[in-house]
């Protein structure tokens, strides 16, 4: 649900060959549906420029994607005030869905300023925000009330498989999963060492063992809802 596998787009894959190697690592674990979500820094680039670059990258990679793999094209959108200068944000959503993967400053308190951005995405654009890698927001990891405020606004919350390495953070994330705070899981794969794709099934199995199959089912169901509207 979160990867940087499109070549030459950002700080992720540097070539088609590297992208295919990383995709093969995920396929080896049974992953056959992939979301490509390159960084879109709205304070640095126009949406038209980003979409043009992304289209070029997609056209390089897609002819080489294995036949048994489905892909969904999206973006990891760094939300700033400049984003709202655009009338149409559909091109940076997951495929043809209304879900949009959002990143905020990691020191955000999710106060009125940030929440206003979320309200505008929902109210002005009829989008469904997905918060990327919750573990990187210190205030969300320390204050469950803030997380519940986001859930009250129908925010979908994502975590990275690499976040389950450290004992303390792993324990907190498993607690959040049991409480229904986390909806989808992604690798945030940039390379073989950053967002290691080999950790995907290890993390899914950990969630199953510590939280139960019903929580894995919830993650899969939510992922399918986001993924399913893609064009074939």
**H or E element: which one contains 215?**
helix 213-227
Three-class SS state of 73: strand
Q: Report the distance separating Cα 70 and Cα 93, nearest Å.
A: 17
Q: Report the distance separating Cα 156 and Cα 102, nearest Å.
A: 10
Stated length of the chain: 232
Which residue intervals of 134-199 are DSSP H helices? 138-142, 144-152, 167-178
How does pLDDT run along the chain (232 residues), one tens digit per residue?
999 999 999 999 999 999 999 999 999 999 999 999 999 999 999 999 999 999 999 999 999 999 999 999 999 999 999 999 999 999 999 999 999 999 999 999 999 999 999 999 999 999 999 999 999 999 999 999 999 999 999 999 999 999 999 899 999 999 999 999 999 999 999 998 888 888 999 999 999 999 999 999 999 999 999 998 875 4
């Amino acid at each position: 649900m979160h990867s940087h596998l499109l070549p030459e787009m950002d700080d992720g894959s540097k070539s088609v060959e590297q992208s295919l190697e990383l995709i093969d690592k995920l396929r080896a674990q049974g992953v056959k549906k992939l979301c490509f979500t390159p960084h879109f820094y709205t304070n640095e680039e126009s949406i038209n420029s980003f979409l043009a670059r992304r289209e070029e990258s997609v056209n390089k990679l897609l002819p080489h994607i294995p036949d048994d793999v489905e892909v969904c094209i999206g973006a990891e959108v760094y939300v700033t005030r400049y984003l709202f200068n655009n009338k149409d944000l559909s091109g940076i959503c997951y495929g043809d869905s209304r879900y949009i993967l959002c990143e905020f400053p990691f020191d955000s308190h999710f106060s009125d300023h940030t929440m206003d951005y979320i309200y505008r995405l929902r109210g002005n654009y009829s989008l469904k925000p997905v918060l990327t890698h919750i573990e990187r927001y210190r205030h969300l990891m320390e204050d469950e009330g803030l997380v519940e405020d986001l859930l009250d606004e129908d925010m979908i919350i994502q975590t990275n498989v690499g976040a389950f390495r450290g004992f303390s953070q792993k324990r907190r994330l498993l607690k959040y999963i049991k409480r229904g705070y986390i909806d989808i899981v992604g690798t945030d794969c940039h390379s073989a060492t950053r967002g290691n794709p080999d950790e995907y099934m290890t993390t899914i199995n950990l969630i199953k063992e510590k939280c139960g199959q019903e929580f894995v089912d919830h993650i899969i169901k939510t992922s399918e809802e986001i993924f399913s509207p893609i064009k074939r």
